[in-house]
Structure 1
Amino acid sequence: MSKKIYSSYIPFIAVIFVIILITNYTKEESGKIGNNFSEGNIVIAGKSKDMGIFKRPNLMNSTYLFGKSHEKVEKTINKNSGEIVLKDIKKPMLMEFSPSGDEAFYRTYIYVSPGDNVSFEVKNKKILFTGKNAAQNNLYTLLEENTRDYSKQYYQNDIHRYKATIQSIYDDKLEFATKYYHKHSLSENFTKVFNDFLKFEYYFNLINPRNVKSTSLDIYLNQSDVLKNLIQKEAIEKEIIFDISDYLDNIKIKDFIASRSALNHSHYFKNCLNDFIRHYFETSDYPLYSKEKLEAEKMYIDNHLDGDLKEYATGRMIWDYYNEGFAYNEENRKYMLQLIDNFSKTIQDKASYTSKMEAIKKDILRYDFKLSESALYAKMVNHLGDTITLQDIFDRSTKRIKVVDFWASWCPPCIKEIKEHKPFKDRLSVENNVEWIYLSIDTDKEKWLAKQEELSETLHFRNSYLLLKGNKSSLAKALQVQQIPRYVIFGRNGEILMNSAPSPSNNDVFERMIDDIQPQTFIP
């Protein structure tokens, strides 16, 4: 074949070669894309100079028992762009998307279904969605920009005024969202999901008033188990009668049942369901977090709820009682362990429920155990620079119950607890021979010292220490200190009586527990 004839075939050969390359490439990439776009996956692709968004995407999955960041995540990070693949998504859900970037913290919500492809870009430190379903996914950001923020409001010794403010914010948000639905012709499914989200955000703020000032931000935080105390205090001071049903809009358990799909979409729904059962729907006068109250709540749940709603409410009830120190004595421990075993047999294909129950059971079985030597001798310092260990503190007295309070200078609830409950703690120190030990997990020593000075009425060189290495220390690891404030109760011989005790702010609950355990641990 002459060169001329050969050269005449070059364009044709080149086209064939390109087609082959494209075909092979497409097959190869479609395999990858097929994995990403499979029925149970969601692909979220974005453009941003802040690459922390793709390193720490934090997409909250409300189908887990308490809602947490989705576990099965694959990340691909390129220059100024990235891709996040959420695997094993079984049903549509509203997910909080709150990546911790290198330049800012972002927070929005997206409504996704298995197989979805979501696109976004970051402008002016805001996540803006593009492409398909951009309108519904941009709603939350626009809503926050155009309506007031619940976190800026707080309880000021007038519960009716607080309710009126919270309700007006809810009304504004609902009005904005309704107009937005119509303008963008959003689906009926999405509007129901988002309306439920707004409604239970409102109810959550009602039953858990914002009563704690943040130490670092100009916002107020919600406080649980405090509503009835605030109402009773106002009723006495103002000599008036409050109608809690009216305050809570006469909500009924059937309203939760009608919105049961919110279990998959709204952490507000999940976080206030048991609060409503405990403080409003279940009307017995049993002491809070007592065995009698637990049995009454369980009976209420069994009689009024079924299916996934009953399953969640039961699991959350167990978790709440565990965190409030229910298993402080042998009788309650046996009861809770049996309750966990019975509940675990009914759980239907929910790994997050099973793992949480096993974690609670494991911790309860650790009660009365002693710390390892490495934990007992973890280094701490007081504000004078003296080094000490937990073993040194135990050696000072073998006749006192010791309550260790893990806290930090950046933790508003911790500061509130230390400031407001000194008289109660002082009384227990005298009447029950309780010693209070404050261990800060701060990583910034100067900030700890500044807060130590601010709280000097309570904290001093004999009871307040900076735990070196913070929550990475051998002591914090042994006690599994992951959230604060956290209270651990030790007996007179240094044994752990309760690894996760209730807050002293629940005075009645805490004192009842101390009264019951004292005869077992205190020798006059």
Structure 2
Amino acid sequence: MMNKLKGWWNTANFKALSILLCFCLIVSFLHGQTVIEGQIDHSLGVDSFRITYTTNFVEHDEIFTRGTEIMVNVDDGRFKIELNESPAVFYVKFNLPKNRSDSIGNDYRILGNNANIFMIEPNSTVMINVLPQKVLFSGMSAPLMKCQFDLFSLYARMKKERISLSAAQGHFDHNASKEDVWKFLDAYKAVHDTAIHVAKDIISTYAFDSLTSNAIYYNFYGSVRFFEINYLNLKSAFSKDSLRAYFVGHYNEFYSDEKIPDESKNYLGQSNMYPRYLAYKTRTDISMRLAPLGRRIKPNLMLVDKLISERYRDHVYDQVALSSFLNRGTKEYMDDMFFMTLLGNIKNQEYKEYISEMRNKKSSGRKSYQFELEDEHGKIYRNADFKGKVILLDFWFTGCRGCIALHKNMKPVKERFKRNPDFVYVSVSIDTKKEMWKNSLASGDYTDDTDIKLWLGDLGKKHPIIKYYNIASYPTMIIIDGDDEIVAINPPNPYTEHNENALVNIIEEALNK
């Protein structure tokens, strides 16, 4: 009898302990940490640096504005970062201090490049040893980090090869022949195709699961293809008419959707750069088809989203449509019809919530940000100084080509309202250096004498007003009515007569409210 009781106790005890152990493991997993630690060689002189990280697709696509930023202290060459959440994956970018010394190798610059975002597994540890000429990885996530680092290195080499190619044969005058231009573009395309093939070989050397390999490959593929067609887009936009026709023709011959294999059917959904590329390519496909009709004809978001919905399904559509919205939504005026269509098509609840949030931020009737900003003479302006007036805020920065173009495009609109005392054009610079801002004011490239010229101070794009209006690109215009309420964010840029009339109508409606 005692033996039976003893056996029963051991069995029950074992089961209880097993359940308790499993519970502890689950709790440990749920509350586990992803740890990034390591050391930085003293000769590099780094006593602190920043990282920005995020844990979801929406924030990954806007990591610069929506990601969580952490200041990391380097004590006696050592640092440690603990990330407490446990999502499917972390996306992390390291913002190491710039160091242009000849003694610093490319590895340091690759790790600290703002464009390089690393995927790191949850509840894992990665050790990083930053040396003057080398960056070494160890720990559980070391293979994942090393593979991505190899791909970033490959991308840097591809970029140098692309620059060398352009320097050698990429500058054409108006007498250049189609054959010469297309010969260069064929070589340009080959550089990117080769990088894609090499990337596949690099990834194949690591024993990752299919989801991880897929995410890494499509991130690289999307990055390469995105900037490849971006170059063609810029060339077609800024070249003379004859050259422009050659670039447009080459794109339509080799890059249009029916000319390249569809890789989206194999995409599993863990990359942000791939859907971003597909969204940008959809827009570019339309632009290149419209190009023979005139350089100022551009597709709107509704047209782009319609083509996206025809090309892609399920999670691919959701991600591509969201990327299109994130990329253009900060630059274009969107009416309720667009929001309703997009919200009706997208199935992912997280994306729908984000789009609804942006819709609320962009909707008319919301109170404007209450600011106190100085002008070039040091005078402080507040919202109350413009009570009862319609304000057009123009956010810009020195070196922004689009900002210069907007300044030129706005001249007829300003002329139309210059005698109306109830309309005020307010130029807002995000330059962090006052001297740079004042030099740009003096140049006349960004502002007119009739503008009220305000400055955000040394906070620049980190000023609360930027977050309030969710500004992620420049120039950005915002119209505020006499009741201090938002009328429109990113109203039409008046680069065409149609857009000019649309902008004028919005201003006049606000004036007549």
TM-score, scaled to structure 2: 0.68
Quote the offset at 1:476 in angstroms: 5.1
Contact persistence 1:61–1:68 (CA under 8 A):
no
Contact persistence 1:403–1:487 (CA under 8 A):
yes
The whole-number CA distance in structure 2 between the counterparts of 1:463 and 1:71 is 33
Contact persistence 1:432–1:518 (CA under 8 A):
no
The whole-number CA distance in structure 1 between the counterparts of 2:248 and 2:57 is 40
Pair 1:273 & 2:275 matched: no
SS in structure 1 opposite 2:410?
Answer: helix
Quote the offset at 1:204 in angstroms: 0.7
Contact persistence 2:287–2:299 (CA under 8 A):
no
The whole-number CA distance in structure 2 between the counterparts of 1:465 and 1:135 is 46
Which among 184, 189, 207 is matched to residue 229 of structure 2? Answer: 207
Residue number in structure 1 paired with 2:354: 356
Pair 1:420 & 2:418 matched: no
Contact persistence 1:170–1:199 (CA under 8 A):
no
Pair 1:443 & 2:432 matched: yes
Amino acid corresponding to residue 147 of structure 2 in structure 1: Q
The whole-number CA distance in structure 1 between the counterparts of 2:84 and 2:327 is 29
Are the structure 2 counterparts of residues 316 and 500 from structure 1 closer, same or farther at C-alpha, using a change threshold of 3 Å?
same
Contact persistence 1:337–1:361 (CA under 8 A):
yes
Residue number in structure 1 paired with 2:13: none
Contact persistence 1:47–1:121 (CA under 8 A):
yes
Contact persistence 1:439–1:465 (CA under 8 A):
yes
Counting only pairs closer than 5 Å after superposition, residues 199-348 of structure 1 correspond to structure 2 as 199-209=221-231, 229-230=237-238, 234-235=241-242, 242-248=249-255, 255-261=262-268, 263-265=269-271, 267-280=272-285, 288=298, 290=300, 294=302, 296-319=303-326, 322-327=329-334, 332-333=335-336, 335-339=337-341, 341-343=343-345, 346-348=347-349
Are the structure 2 counterparts of residues 179 and 473 from structure 1 closer, same or farther at C-alpha, using a change threshold of 3 Å?
closer
SS in structure 2 opposite 1:46?
Answer: strand
CA offsets 1:261-298 (integer angstroms, 9 cap, x no match): 2x413x331222122223326999797455xx61x444
Quote the offset at 1:521 in angstroms: 3.6
SS in structure 2 opposite 1:323?
Answer: coil
Count how many residue pairs are aligned between Structure 1 and Structure 2. Answer: 445
Are the structure 2 counterparts of residues 512 and 242 from structure 1 closer, same or farther at C-alpha, using a change threshold of 3 Å?
farther
CA offsets 1:211-242 (integer angstroms, 9 cap, x no match): xxxxxxxxxxxxxx7676457x5348779972
CA offsets 1:51-70 (integer angstroms, 9 cap, x no match): 534xx322455633652559
Pair 1:143 & 2:145 matched: no
Counting only pairs closer than 5 Å after superposition, residues 104-143 of structure 1 correspond to structure 2 as 106-107=112-113, 108=116, 110=118, 112-124=120-132, 127-131=135-139, 132-133=142-143, 135-143=146-154
Amino acid corresponding to residue 270 of structure 1 in structure 2: P
SS in structure 2 opposite 1:99?
Answer: strand
Counting only pairs closer than 5 Å after superposition, residues 392-403 of structure 1 correspond to structure 2 as 392=385, 402-403=391-392
Pair 1:371 & 2:393 matched: no
Amino acid corresponding to residue 270 of structure 2 in structure 1: N
The whole-number CA distance in structure 1 between the counterparts of 2:395 and 2:456 is 9
Residue number in structure 1 paired with 2:61: 67
Are the structure 2 counterparts of residues 364 and 284 from structure 1 closer, same or farther at C-alpha, using a change threshold of 3 Å?
farther
Q: Which runs of 5+ in 2 are unaligned?
A: 1-22, 100-108, 174-180
The whole-number CA distance in structure 2 between the counterparts of 1:380 and 1:243 is 49
SS in structure 1 opposite 2:37?
Answer: strand
Quote the offset at 1:252 in angstroms: 6.0
Quote the offset at 1:513 in angstroms: 2.8
Amino acid corresponding to residue 272 of structure 1 in structure 2: Y
The whole-number CA distance in structure 2 between the counterparts of 1:187 and 1:175 is 18
Are the structure 2 counterparts of residues 479 and 408 from structure 1 closer, same or farther at C-alpha, using a change threshold of 3 Å?
same
The whole-number CA distance in structure 1 between the counterparts of 2:172 and 2:74 is 52
The whole-number CA distance in structure 1 between the counterparts of 2:387 and 2:56 is 42
Are the structure 2 counterparts of residues 324 and 151 from structure 1 closer, same or farther at C-alpha, using a change threshold of 3 Å?
farther
Quote the offset at 1:370 in angstroms: 4.7
Are the structure 2 counterparts of residues 126 and 432 from structure 1 closer, same or farther at C-alpha, using a change threshold of 3 Å?
farther
Q: Which runs of 5+ in 1 are unaligned?
A: 1-30, 211-224
Amino acid corresponding to residue 258 of structure 1 in structure 2: K
Are the structure 2 counterparts of residues 513 and 483 from structure 1 closer, same or farther at C-alpha, using a change threshold of 3 Å?
same
CA offsets 1:298-336 (integer angstroms, 9 cap, x no match): 443444322211222333344456434433xxxx32x24
Counting only pairs closer than 5 Å after superposition, residues 44-59 of structure 1 correspond to structure 2 as 44-48=36-40, 50=46, 52-53=48-49, 56-59=50-53
Counting only pairs closer than 5 Å after superposition, residues 93-104 of structure 1 correspond to structure 2 as 97-102=92-97
SS in structure 2 opposite 1:489?
Answer: strand
SS in structure 1 opposite 2:249?
Answer: coil
SS in structure 2 opposite 1:270?
Answer: helix
Quote the offset at 1:514 in angstroms: 0.9
CA offsets 1:94-118 (integer angstroms, 9 cap, x no match): x764212356671355454455432
Contact persistence 1:36–1:42 (CA under 8 A):
no
Amino acid corresponding to residue 371 of structure 1 in structure 2: S
The whole-number CA distance in structure 2 between the counterparts of 1:369 and 1:111 is 37
Quote the offset at 1:33 in angstroms: 9.9
Which among 487, 490, 495 is matched to residue 497 of structure 1? Answer: 487
Of 121-130 and 154-163, deviating more is 154-163
**Percent of residue pairs bearing the same amino acid type:** 12
SS in structure 2 opposite 1:124?
Answer: coil
Quote the offset at 1:425 in angstroms: 2.0
Residue number in structure 2 paired with 1:520: 509
The whole-number CA distance in structure 1 between the counterparts of 2:308 and 2:343 is 17
SS in structure 2 opposite 1:380?
Answer: strand
The whole-number CA distance in structure 2 between the counterparts of 1:457 and 1:74 is 34
Amino acid corresponding to residue 57 of structure 1 in structure 2: I
SS in structure 2 opposite 1:208?
Answer: helix
Contact persistence 2:236–2:244 (CA under 8 A):
no
Amino acid corresponding to residue 429 of structure 1 in structure 2: K
Are the structure 2 counterparts of residues 257 and 51 from structure 1 closer, same or farther at C-alpha, using a change threshold of 3 Å?
same
The whole-number CA distance in structure 2 between the counterparts of 1:363 and 1:491 is 16
Residue number in structure 2 paired with 1:82: 80
